[in-house]
Amino acid sequence: MVSLLEGTRRQLSRAARRQAAVLAAAAVALALGPLLAASADAGEFHLYSCRTPSGAAAPADGWSPSHSGPYTYAEDTCAQSGGALVAALRPSPGRTADTDVATWEFSAPAPERIAAATLWRAGDADGGAAINASYQFWFAGPENVVTNPAFNFGQCEGGLLCPYGLGNSSQPLATENRIGVPGPNLGSRLFVNASCVGAPGYQCPEGQADANGYAAVVNVYAVDLTLAQDAGPTADNVGGELASAPVLRGTSDVTFSASDPASGVYEALFSIDGQLVQSSVVDANGGRCANVGGTSDGLAAFLYAQPCKASVSADVGFDTTQVASGEHHLVVSVIDAAGNSAAVLDRQVKVLNEPLACQAPTGASASGGVALSASWRGTHRQVITSAFGRRRTIDGRLTSAAGAPIAGAPVELVAAPVLARAKPLAVASARTGPDGRFSVRVRAAGPSRTLCLTYRGASGIGSPVATRKMTLRVRAGVVLHVTPRVASVGRSIRFIGRLRSGPVPPGGKQLVLEARAPGGAWLEFKVVRTNARGRFHAGYRFRFPGPARYQFRVLCEPESGYPFAGGASNVVRVFER
């Protein structure tokens, strides 16, 4: 469980800044065009191999094994508990130096390159050393040349130079297992090796080995690679309502074709008046093109070296009800997995959605000089955010222009959910008391909504005489269950839950699982997605012994297409023996 709580908190603000920077770059690119084609900064993304920062198993995409000679092994056990990329040799009679070697090699797909890398490893060279020959493991890059020490780092040589091995094999993500790749060793390739090394013709010792029978072994439990690419995506064949319609309403789409030479086409970003308002994955590529998070620098993280499709034909919807009706500057850009961007669309648009009938009265209807004031109880505000299911009360007062109360007057409350093309519905009514005051109760059990208090005169019929606009933002309601409540190392717990209300986007809603020790900071360890009915499940296996107590919860973050503010589930507790 240590690996779970050593995970990195999701850096939402940094991610937002990254996307804002992408949008700004897209706007500049539109203005300067081809002048920027050769001068753009390289984009970057993280690639997790064998294990993620949270301790979850990951594929070893981009890594290839090789071995020569008897009793040599290059194995991928990453899917197993405590698994690793293993390079190892068992003792072999008559083994001479530089003949037998086990290797794992990572090759960055062109035109990507390795900009930074961190490995978590443990191993030993208990086969020892003889005259001019010794068992060793080492890392190398960007070339794997044994005789040139400039390419080698992180070496463990048997005998007196590395008598007890390196790292902690019982805790894969332990601090002592972490090793950063030096700058001179970065490039397009990275190597992990185990071998008998020395002068030609000299033999390594026979019969000496560690408790597992290895004369030299290195286990690479996790790798965090930062891959960079200079070339970004291109986009053309732009069409759809967003590109041409004179007036936009509800959800309008933009169509385009895009391609990228390396990490692939990732997201379409929508900016209104310089502010990022929506990001949408263009094509999930069978689940590969998914940001698994866990970074601390705001970059996206993936489990595949080329996570997203190289070319796509996109049709992406944009919910215009997220912005006020009127004239706006719309910028649409597309980014690859490394964050490089290309402009898709840049135009002035007019948004005209069907507003809730809460505009200020004009003409004869306003001649009476009636004042309608209102606020949420306990505040002086017209906008509040409420927990799901909680009842909230609006307190108001109706007076004449001179401040005299208007008693016995009917006031109606109309609500419109924050959804594309949602229709206003009358939900409540009240009558003012002798002092002109009234109260209306509203339950926060449905989506966030705009509300309008309206006074139409003593008869309650006709055009509005006075109005007051209110907003109720409802936090997402999430229910979380866990079983069992008591576990131990090697055992798993299972999370089951659901969103308490919809509508849920057709592709489900993304949720974030977090954990902490009681009183500690919440840390993200897994991202899940609900089905179309809002239900989800996930599991976690304890990899390190207790005893310890942990708390878990689920975060539901704001997302286009799900009309709720961010919310959190109930907290569940688990004891690890």
Q: What's this model's pTM, rounded to 2 decimal places?
A: 0.61
Q: What is the pLDDT of residues 349-386, one digit of tens each?
A: 988 765 555 655 533 334 457 889 999 998 888 899 99
3-31 residues labelled b (16+ CB within 10 A) or e (exposed): bbbebbebbeeebeebbeebbbbbbebbe
Q: What is the pLDDT of residues 148-176, one digit of tens each?
A: 677 999 999 998 889 999 999 999 999 99
pLDDT at 535: 93
> How does residue 29 score in pLDDT terms, banded at 50, 70 and 90?
very low
Q: What average pLDDT does the structure give for the chain?
A: 85
Structural domains of the chain, with CATH: 10-37+232-283+306-351 (2.60.40.10), 47-229 (no CATH), 363-474 (2.60.40.10), 478-576 (2.60.40.10)
Among residues 296, 332, 299, 74, the alpha carbon closest in space to that of 193 is found at 74
Say which range, 179-193, 319-333, 479-493, has the weakest mean pLDDT: 319-333
Sign of CA dihedral 210, 213, 218, 222: negative
Start-to-end CA distance of the chain, whole Å, equals: 11
Element (H, E) at 291: none
> How does residue 4 score in pLDDT terms, banded at 50, 70 and 90?
very low
Task: Indicate whether 201 pLDDT > 80.
Answer: yes
Contact between 438 and 407 under an 8 Å Cβ cutoff? The reply is no
> How does residue 109 score in pLDDT terms, banded at 50, 70 and 90?
very high
177: three-class secondary structure by DSSP: helix
* Rounded Cα distance, 8 and 345, in Å: 35
Q: What is the pLDDT of residues 465-478, one digit of tens each?
A: 888 888 888 999 99
Say which range, 210-219, 454-463, 481-490, 500-509, has the weakest mean pLDDT: 454-463
255: three-class secondary structure by DSSP: strand
Residue-by-residue DSSP string for 125-148: -TT-EETTEEEEEEEE-S---TT-
Contact between 427 and 414 under an 8 Å Cβ cutoff? The reply is yes
Mean pLDDT, to the nearest integer, of 312-316? 93
Task: Indicate whether 8 pLDDT > 50.
Answer: no
Phi and psi torsions of 431, nearest 5°: -120, 140
pLDDT at 416: 72
pLDDT at 37: 31
pLDDT at 354: 57
Question: How do strand 523-529 and strand 247-248 relate by DSSP bridges?
Answer: unpaired
Is residue 388 classed exposed, middle or buried when 0-12, 13-18 and 19+ CB atoms within 10 A define those classes? Answer: buried
